[in-house]
Structure 1
């Protein structure tokens, strides 16, 4: 995931929204893997910035093709171009995204927050979130040696509170609980 850029205002921080996942068909169409919910929402945030050449991508049109999202992109005229750009990450400035409603968060906002349990015992920092289908999972770097904590991001069951201002998440979890046990 992209992090804050040095000397860039927070509202212009690049937020990952998806990636190109390969060519589609015989022309220059590309498969798009979206991180947005719903997935089609990725097309509302334009232009996309890439983590490599060509830099900016402008979508000319898109469609759902079965379970996939397929896009025609101005800078990708041929199948060979589409194949070459597979795996390219797509981001937009934070200022292009709507403000999340109260009690909702962008995954990026949770990365780096300190996590402690109800007793105030530190569990570590959020390194990433995983989409586990039914619910998201916090991956928490455990201080010192050991296996990372994998805590289901289920409010009211495992997650008691998220405070972006203080940079803290309180969970119903014990330090000795790991996925390896």
Structure 2
């Protein structure tokens, strides 16, 4: 780097070793006089990467964020009567946008049931609020009445679209 006139800001440097094989997770590296430690989780462009690349931390963090936003937006709606369409639309679109941010990267994680359930629980709380129903109403009924698709379907749709685009690009 020195020969090309570049320097490394070691205080800003973060390193993550990712892969399926068992390697030591925390390793100290010495660069010049500074020591840098690898991390278990690294945030890159809004996506939390972990050492196994299963995106557990990312889904946990975005689910918590979406739940907080859903709770905040739910306070705009009255408990007694059905909310106005503009408020319903706001609540139905904001949480999925947070949950599905960069889903093209981590769609494979949705094959795990616990990740789908975590995201679906956030979506269900918003749907129950939109339809003004009790928590005893089933998930499928609340989503149908609210007019919302299951959260993993748009993510899988994006993934399929991108794969088809890549195949067309290779063939042309």
Shorter-chain TM range is under 0.3
Bigger-Rg structure (1/2): 2
More helix by share: 2
- TM-score w.r.t. structure 1 length? 0.22
Choose between structure 1 and 2: higher strand proportion.
1
